[in-house]
């Protein structure tokens, strides 16, 4: 496993969450603008479709040395040669994923969803490299989430693992959470549902990059 300092250097400031519903032809332009993290997240895809989508994302952004993480599925991350996996409360436990990754793909980055500082500490102890922390703001991209945590929760949880803030992030809010101690941000609507996604990417990079 790389040392935590190495992870901090490798961990992108911005993760664009990508499903097969998005326009993948925009990915190289995003990467060129400085979005160097891509998370494959597609709840409707079959396992084979997820492997194919992850490979398609890799082939579009690999030349930019961008990082590709797969949401939920360590098996898909390993099969498609991704750089990491992001795990939530109903996924493979971080500890188990770390054990498997240490044999199958040493150095694989593991992210864990956390909603408070105690969860970040627990994630670190079980082998996570970063915490996806949210929802910081209200979001329409996912239902069933707890109330927004707010920027104060980011400050309170900072300093254990690198935090990737998620939930309702835009360029102006990215600057706010970075100032509160987040390493970076993960975004769906703030990029894909904007009238000009390339302009949104540029503004996100200026704010968080
Ligand atoms: C960076 C980041 N943080 C949190 C999440 C949420 O992951 P999870 O809890 O697994 O929920 P789903 O995304 O699977 O609905 C994330 N994907 N990325
Ligand atoms: C997938 C996801 N997970 C969250 C969490 O807090 O665990 S918030 C979220 C949705 C993020 O989308 P948007 O950038 O459009 O708000």
ipTM exceeds 0.90: yes
Q: Contact at 8 Å (CB) between 43 and 23?
A: no
Residue 118's Cα: distance from chain center in Å?
20
Is 141 marked as a binding-site residue?
A: yes
- Average pLDDT for residues 86-92, to the nearest whole number? 98
- Spell out the domain ranges in the chain: 4-208
- Give yes or no for residue 98 having a pLDDT over 50: yes
- For 102-154, the pLDDT digits (tens) are 999 999 999 999 999 999 999 999 999 999 999 999 999 999 999 999 999 99
For residues 19 and 10, what is the distance between their CA atoms, to the nearest angstrom? 23
Model-level pTM? 0.97
What is the best residue among 7, 11, 39, 41 to mutate for testing ligand 1's pocket, by most ligand atoms within 8 Å of CB? 41
Q: What is residue 1's predicted lDDT score, i.e. its pLDDT? A: 47
pLDDT at 209: 74
Q: How confident is the model at residue 8 (pLDDT cuts 50, 70, 90)?
A: confident
pLDDT-derived band of residue 170, with 50, 70 and 90 as boundaries? very high
Which pLDDT score is estimated for 200? 97
Say yes or no: CB of residue 19 within 6 Å of ligand 2: no
Whether ligand 1 lies within 6 angstroms of the CB of 115 is answered as no
What stretches of the chain adopt beta strand conformation (E)? Answer: 14-18, 37-40, 67-71, 84-87, 109-114, 130-133, 163-166, 184-187
Q: Angle, to 10 degrees, between the axis of helix 94-104 and the axis of helix 117-126?
A: 30
* Distance (Å, whole) CA 209 – CA 207: 6
3-state helix, strand, coil in the chain (%, to 5): 45, 15, 40
Q: Is it the case that residue 181 has pLDDT exceeding 60?
A: yes
Token duo for residue 85: 């996996």
pLDDT beyond 70 at 167: yes
The mean predicted confidence, pLDDT, of the chain is: 96
Q: Confirm or reject: Cβ of 190 under 6 Å from ligand 2.
A: yes
Instruction: From 204, 203, 198, select the one nearest 186 (Cα to Cα).
Output: 204
Is the pLDDT assigned to residue 196 strictly greater than 80? Answer: yes
**Closest ligand by atom to 89 CA:** 1
**pLDDT at position 137:** 98
- The verdict on the CB of residue 141 being under 6 Å from ligand 2 is yes
pLDDT of residue 97 exceeding 70: yes
Closest listed ligand to the CA of 167:
2
Closest CA to 2 of 88, 100, 101, 97: 101
Which mutation among 130, 139, 144, 190 tests ligand 2's pocket best, with the greatest number of atoms within 8 A of CB?
139
Q: Is the pLDDT of residue 30 over 50?
A: yes
- The superfamily (CATH) of domain 4-208 is Aldolase class I (3.20.20.70)
The pLDDT of residue 9 is 74
Token pair, residue 81, equals 């040669």
């Amino acid at each position: 496993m790389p040392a935590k300092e190495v992870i901090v250097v490798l961990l992108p400031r911005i993760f664009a969450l990508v499903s097969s519903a998005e326009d993948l032809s925009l990915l190289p332009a995003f990467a060129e603008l400085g979005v160097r993290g891509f998370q494959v997240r597609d709840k409707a895809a079959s396992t084979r479709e997820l492997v194919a989508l992850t490979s398609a994302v890799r082939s579009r952004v690999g030349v930019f040395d961008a990082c590709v993480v797969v949401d939920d599925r360590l098996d898909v991350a390993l099969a498609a040669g991704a750089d990491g996996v992001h795990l939530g409360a109903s996924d493979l436990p971080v500890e188990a994923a770390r054990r498997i990754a240490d044999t199958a793909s040493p150095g694989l980055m593991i992210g864990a969803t956390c909603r408070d500082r105690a969860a970040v500490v627990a994630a670190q102890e079980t082998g996570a490299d970063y915490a996806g922390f949210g929802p910081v703001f209200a979001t329409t991209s996912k239902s069933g989430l707890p109330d927004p945590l707010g920027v104060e929760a980011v400050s309170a949880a900072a300093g254990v693992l690198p935090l990737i803030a998620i939930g309702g992030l835009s360029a102006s809010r990215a600057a706010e959470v970075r100032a509160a101690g987040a390493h970076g941000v993960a975004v769906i609507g703030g990029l894909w549902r904007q009238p000009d996604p390339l302009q949104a990417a540029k503004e996100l990079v200026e704010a968080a990059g």
